[in-house]
Each structure stands twice: as structure tokens, then as C-alpha cells.
């Protein structure tokens, strides 16, 4: 009788939870897709004892604008 007020109480769709393996595999795939496009390749260091890795990126990334320093205001006087 009051469906028009409260709406249809249909069950919400179930969301499949990602396993740890799926999370790691997805992250690795995404990271590889990004790293392969870099012109100056990043340096990757793996620490097996800690189970971690670090990525040393170049100081200037290809998509970052190379800004020139602001001109100095010289006043003659």
C-alpha cells in the first residue's frame, strides 16, 4: 500500500570482495602499466627481508612542466 512512499525494498546487489591475491595482482599490473611508459626508467629496489619495495622516480617526470625561474626585477638607481 505504501510502496510509492518507501520505494521497493529490493535487495542490494552483492559486492564481490577482492582477495589479497587479487589485490596484489591488480596493483602489480597497474604499476607495470605505468612504469613501462616512463621515458627515463624508474629505479626499483626490492627488500625481500621486509617484503617491501621502493621506486625512485626521476627528478623531472615527462608530464611535469619544466618551469623557468621567475625573472629578477632589477631596478637601476
Model pLDDT for residues 20-69, shown as the tens digit of each residue: 999 999 999 999 999 998 888 899 999 999 999 999 988 877 777 666 67
pLDDT tens by residue, 9-28: 677 778 889 999 999 999 99
pTM value is 0.57
Give CA–CA dist 32/38, Å, rounded: 10
pLDDT at residue 77 in the model: 53
Give the helix ranges, DSSP H, for the chain: 3-6, 20-35
Q: Is residue 3 pLDDT above 70, yes or no?
A: no
Amino acid at each position: 500500500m505504501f510502496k510509492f512512499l518507501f520505494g521497493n525494498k529490493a535487495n542490494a546487489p552483492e559486492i564481490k570482495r577482492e582477495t589479497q591475491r587479487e589485490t596484489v595482482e591488480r596493483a602489480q599490473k597497474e604499476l607495470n602499466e605505468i612504469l613501462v611508459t616512463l621515458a627515463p626508467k624508474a629505479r626499483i629496489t626490492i627488500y625481500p627481508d621486509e617484503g617491501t619495495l621502493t621506486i625512485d622516480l626521476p627528478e623531472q617526470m615527462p608530464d611535469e612542466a619544466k618551469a623557468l625561474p621567475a625573472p629578477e626585477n632589477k631596478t637601476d638607481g
